[in-house]
Amino acid sequence: MKKSKSKTTYKQDAHGRYYEIKNENPNSLGTIIKNTVYMVRLAFEAAPWRVICQFVDTLLKAAVGLFFSIVFLEKIVGYLETGAPFSETVRFVILSVPLFVLTDVFSNYYRAVIWETGNQAMYEKLHLKLFEKATDVELECFENPAFYESYTKASSQIKGNVLGVLNISSTFLASVGSLLYLTYKSVRTDPFVLLFAALPFLATYVVEVKKNKASYERYQEGIKYAQKEDYVRWTVYDSQFAKEIRLSNIFTVLKKQMYDAIDGSLRLIKKYGGRIVALNSTESAFNYTLTVGCTIAYAALRLLFWKSISAADFVVLVSVIINFSDEIVSISKTFSRFQEYSQYIDTVREFQEYQPKISESQDGIRPIRHTGAWELSHVNFTYFGQSKLVLKDVSIRIGQGQKIALVGHNGAGKTTLVKLLMRLYDPQEGTITLNGKDIREYNVRAYRDLFGTIFQDFQIFALSVAENVMMDEVQKEDRKRVLQALKNSGADKRVDALKNGIDTVLTREFDDEGAVLSGGEFQKIALARVFAKDSDIVILDEPSSALDPIAEYKMYESMLRACKDRSMVFISHRLSSAVLADYVYMLEDGQVIEEGSHRELMEKNGKYAQMFRLQAKNYQ
C-alpha cells in the first residue's frame, strides 16, 4: 500500500498569494470511493455506451466463466454419475453453446467498434476539460511548481487512468457478484470449505500491501532516473538544441547521462526484483498450492472414504474453491489498484475543482470601447515564490490615444508592468483602473480583448500564416485584413513568395510544405497580429529585437500610422524609439525613477539622457 498522502489544495492569503494546504487522505476508503465515482462519471459523460459496454462485457464474461467452470461441469458429471440418457447430455451441451457464442460475438463487437470509438470520445472530451481549465486559471498558477506539476500529471495521466479505473471498477463488480454466487454454492454444497477461502484472502492482503510498498519505493527512487532519460531524449530531438549539439561534444555528456540513468534503473530492478519475486511466490503458494490442495484433499476424503458427497459435488467443491481463490485475489489486487488510482484521480479533481482568482468565466461589466484611460496607482507586485518586490509603488497614466514608452535595463519591471495592465496578474497592493473603474470589475475576456499585444517571447503556431495573424479561425472576410496587416508589418513580400501565400503552414511539424522563416520574418508575422486586431491599446514588448535598425524604423513608422487613434505602450532597449513617444517612464529596480517627454528628460540630464547619449554613439 502506498504511503498516506494528503490532498494538496491552494488557498490565498491577504495579499492574494497562494499557499498549499493538506486535507483529504486519498487512501481513505471514503476518498477512494469518491474518486472512483468521479472518474467513472467523467467517462460516462464523455462516452456513455463505452462505459456501459465495459461493465456488460466484464459481467457477461464472469457469468459465462462461472457457468462453464461450475454449472456445466456439475451437470455433465451428474449426468454421467446417474446414467442419464446420452441425448439429454447432448441437448444440454448444445443449449449451452449459444451462451458462449453470443457472449463472444458481443465482446468482439465491443472491442473492435465501441472500444475504439468510445476511447477516442473519452480522450477528446476529458482532455478538452483539462485544456479549458488550463486556459482559465491565472498565469501565476504556471509559476507555482506544485500547481504546474498537478496540471501536467492530470494531463499526461488522464488517458491511462480513465481506462484503468473503468477496467478495475467493472472487474471489481464482477468479482463481487461472482463471490456472492460462489458463497451461495458453497453453503448449499459444504459450508466448511469457506474456511479454506480465508487463506487466499489473508495471504493476498498481507502480500499485496508489501508488494505495493516495494513497487512504490522503487517508483519513487526511479523518478530521478526517468526524468534524466526524458530530458536527454527531449534535448536530442528538440530543434532548439540541434546547432549546439552538432557544433560541440555536448552529446558525449548527454549520452553519459543517459547511460547513468539506465544503470540506475537497472540497479533498482535488481534491488527490488528479488523481494517482489519472493512475495509473488508466497502469494501463489497460499492462493493456489495450499488452498486448492487442502480443498481437493478434503473433498476427496468426503467422496472416497466418507461417501458423503457425490462426484458432481466433488467437482463443484474443487471448482468453487479455485474460483473463490481467483476472485479473492482479484478483489484484493483490485482494491490496491483503487488506492493507486485514487492518488492520480485526486490530482485530476484537485486541478478541475481549483477556483482561479482571475477567471475568464467570471461575470463582470463590459468595458466601453475606444474611450479608455488607464491609471496604475501605487502598485506593488511580487511573483509567486519570491520575496523581493518586482514593482514598488509604481504609478503611471496612459491617456486615450497617448503613446507611452517604458524604458530601462533588463529586470527593471517593464514587462511585468504591462502584464499587470492586461490583468494576467493582479497586484498585491495598489490599484489599476480603466476610466476610473478597477479593472477587476470588468469581464476578463472582454477586458483583455481591448489589447493588441506582441511580446518579445512571442510564439508562432504550426498553423497557417493567416491563422497566426488573426489568432483565430479565418473567415473569408478576414483575408483582406490579414493581407493588409502583413503589409503594415513588412512581411507581405516574404509571405507572397511562399507557395501557398497566407495559407502556407508555418513550421514543418505537420506539413512537409510548411515554411520555416528567419527570426526577423517570424517577428514581422507576429507584429501583423497587432495590425489585424481592432484593439483600444497596443502593447509592444521589445517588438524589434530581431529587426535591423532600418526595418525597426519602418515598423515604428507603420505602427504609429496604424495606431494614430489608439493608445500605445512600447518597451524597447533602443531608446531611439522613445523619441516617438508622447511620454516616457524610465524604470529601475521596479521603480519609476524618471518620467516626462523625451525633450524634458534630455533637458533634465539624468539617467535617461545618459543612456540615450551612450546608445546614440553606437548609431553614429
Residue 57 pLDDT grade (very low, low, confident, very high; cuts 50, 70, 90): very high
Whether 137 and 40 map to the same domain: the answer is: yes
Range of the structural domain that residue 227 is part of: 191-308
Least confidently predicted of 169-183, 337-351, 522-536: 337-351
Report the first-to-last Cα separation within the chain, whole angstroms. Answer: 72
Within 10 A of 235 (CB to CB), how many other CB atoms are there?
17
Whether 177 and 85 map to the same domain: the answer is: yes
The whole-chain average pLDDT of the chain stands at 82
Average pLDDT over residues 305-331: 80
pLDDT of res. 197: 67
113-131: b or e for each residue (b if 16 or more CB lie within 10 Å)? ebbeebbebbbeebeebbe
Contacts made by residues 483-487, CB under 8 angstroms, sequence distance 24+: 484/531, 484/532, 485/528, 485/529, 485/530, 485/531, 485/532, 486/524, 486/525, 486/528
* Grid coordinates belonging to 137: 486559471
Rounded CA-CA distance 513/504 in Å is 8
Residue 23 pLDDT grade (very low, low, confident, very high; cuts 50, 70, 90): very low
Boundary (domain end) residue, out of 308, 328, 346: 308
What is the DSSP code (8-state) at residue 505? B
Residue with cell 518597451: 571
**Bridge partner list, 8:** 22
Domain-located, residue 64:
yes
Residue 19 pLDDT grade (very low, low, confident, very high; cuts 50, 70, 90): very low
Q: Which one, of 12, 397, 370, 331, lies nearest residue 169 by Cα? A: 331
Domain-located, residue 266:
yes
- Which helix (H) or strand (E) segment holds residue 390: the answer is none
Rounded CA-CA distance 556/543 in Å is 9
Whether 139 and 10 map to the same domain: the answer is: yes
Residue 2 pLDDT grade (very low, low, confident, very high; cuts 50, 70, 90): very low
If DSSP codes are grouped into helix, strand and coil, which group holds residue 589? coil
Residue 149 pLDDT grade (very low, low, confident, very high; cuts 50, 70, 90): low
- For the chain, give the percent of residues with pLDDT over 90: 18
Query: Are the beta carbons of 396 and 592 closer than 8 angstroms?
Result: yes
Rounded CA-CA distance 490/556 in Å is 11
- Which helix (H) or strand (E) segment holds residue 519: the answer is helix 519-532
Task: Output the CA torsion 316→322→325→329 (10° steps).
Answer: -130
Whether 107 and 223 map to the same domain: the answer is: no
Whether 176 and 212 map to the same domain: the answer is: no
Domain-located, residue 62:
yes
Whether 291 and 265 map to the same domain: the answer is: yes
Whether 23 and 171 map to the same domain: the answer is: yes
Residue 293 pLDDT grade (very low, low, confident, very high; cuts 50, 70, 90): confident
What region, left, alpha or beta, does residue 430 occupy, with left being phi > 0 and alpha being psi -120 to 50 degrees? Answer: left
Whether 184 and 83 map to the same domain: the answer is: yes
pLDDT of res. 173: 93
Q: Which one is predicted more confidently, 603 or 314?
A: 603
Query: Are the beta carbons of 545 and 503 closer than 8 angstroms?
Result: no
Whether 293 and 253 map to the same domain: the answer is: yes
Residue 3 pLDDT grade (very low, low, confident, very high; cuts 50, 70, 90): very low
Whether 162 and 272 map to the same domain: the answer is: no
pLDDT of res. 365: 87
Contacts made by residues 368-373, CB under 8 angstroms, sequence distance 24+: 368/435, 369/450, 369/536, 370/400, 370/536, 370/565, 371/400, 371/435, 372/400, 372/434, 372/435, 372/450, 372/536, 372/537, 372/567, 373/397, 373/398, 373/399, 373/400, 373/434, 373/435
Q: What's the pLDDT tens digit per position in 200-238?
A: 666 666 777 777 778 778 877 887 888 888 888 878 877
Domain-located, residue 271:
yes
Domain-located, residue 280:
yes
pLDDT of res. 10: 46
Number of domains in the chain: 3
Whether 119 and 203 map to the same domain: the answer is: no
> What is the DSSP code string of 76-100?
HHHHHHHT--HHHHHHHHHHHHHHH
Whether 199 and 181 map to the same domain: the answer is: no
Q: What's the pLDDT tens digit per position in 448-501?
A: 889 988 887 788 888 899 999 998 888 888 899 999 989 888 888 999 998 889
Residue 317 pLDDT grade (very low, low, confident, very high; cuts 50, 70, 90): confident
pLDDT of res. 158: 78
Burial of 94 (0-12, 13-18, 19+ CB in 10 A): exposed
| C-alpha R_g of the chain | 35
Domain-located, residue 167:
yes
Is 600 a residue whose pLDDT tops 90?
Answer: yes
pLDDT of res. 311: 83
Q: What's the pLDDT tens digit per position in 61-88?
A: 999 989 988 888 888 888 888 888 888 8
Q: Which one is predicted more confidently, 285 or 312?
A: 312
229: Cβ–Cβ under 8 A, 6 or more apart, which residues? 258, 261, 262, 265
Residue 18 pLDDT grade (very low, low, confident, very high; cuts 50, 70, 90): very low
Q: What's the pLDDT tens digit per position in 96-125?
A: 888 889 989 999 989 888 888 888 888 888
Average pLDDT over residues 368-396: 87
Within 10 A of 539 (CB to CB), how many other CB atoms are there?
24
Is 20 a residue whose pLDDT tops 60?
Answer: no
Domain-located, residue 78:
yes
Burial of 371 (0-12, 13-18, 19+ CB in 10 A): exposed
What predicted TM-score, i.e. pTM, was given to this entire model? 0.65
Query: Are the beta carbons of 182 and 59 closer than 8 angstroms?
Result: no
In Å, the largest CA–CA distance within the chain is 120
Q: Which one, of 539, 617, 608, lies nearest residue 578 by Cα? A: 608
Query: Are the beta carbons of 408 and 414 closer than 8 angstroms?
Result: yes
Residue with cell 540497479: 267
Residue 544 pLDDT grade (very low, low, confident, very high; cuts 50, 70, 90): low
Average pLDDT over residues 331-346: 79
**Bridge partner list, 391:** 381
Residue 25 pLDDT grade (very low, low, confident, very high; cuts 50, 70, 90): low
Boundary (domain end) residue, out of 534, 565, 586: 534
Within 10 A of 518 (CB to CB), how many other CB atoms are there?
10
- H runs (alpha helix) in 25-114: 29-46, 48-66, 72-82, 86-109
Length of the chain (residues): 620
Rounded CA-CA distance 595/606 in Å is 10
Domain-located, residue 520:
yes
Task: Output the CA torsion 236→240→241→242 (10° steps).
Answer: 80
Rounded CA-CA distance 460/478 in Å is 19
